């Protein structure tokens, strides 16, 4: 799994509960995928280990280098 320095040094340090395998799982099978105006890509996925909450994972333009990840409280499962 490729990651940015920001993800390694800031995201994982501040959000110690986030697991790399969750991010990989979401990229492999997202509930939703959306390209941002800057080219980065947003992925949403349910994480049973987080009591079923949805995690949003942001990648760089290549769609595989993880830049950010955080619980996303506004996602509604359809």
Q: Print pLDDT tens along the chain (78 aa).
A: 899 999 999 999 999 999 999 999 999 999 999 999 999 999 999 999 988 899 999 999 999 999 999 998 876 655
Task: For residue 62, give both structure tokens.
Answer: 């290549």
Task: For residue 37, give both structure tokens.
Answer: 């105006």
Whether the Cβ atoms of residue 31 and residue 55 lie closer than 8 Å to each other: no
Q: Give the predicted TM-score (pTM) of the model.
A: 0.90
**Using alpha carbons only, what angle is made at residue 75 by residues 72 and 78, rounded to the nearest 5 degrees?**
150
**Using alpha carbons only, what angle is made at residue 4 by residues 14 and 52, rounded to the nearest 5 degrees?**
50
């Amino acid at each position: 799994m490729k990651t940015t320095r920001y993800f390694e040094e800031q995201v994982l340090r501040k959000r110690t509960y986030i697991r790399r395998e969750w991010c990989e799982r979401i990229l492999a099978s997202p509930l939703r995928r959306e390209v941002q105006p800057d080219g980065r890509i947003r992925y949403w996925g349910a994480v049973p280990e987080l009591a079923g909450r949805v995690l949003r994972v942001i990648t760089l333009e290549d769609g595989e280098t993880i830049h950010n990840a955080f619980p996303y409280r506004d996602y509604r499962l359809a």
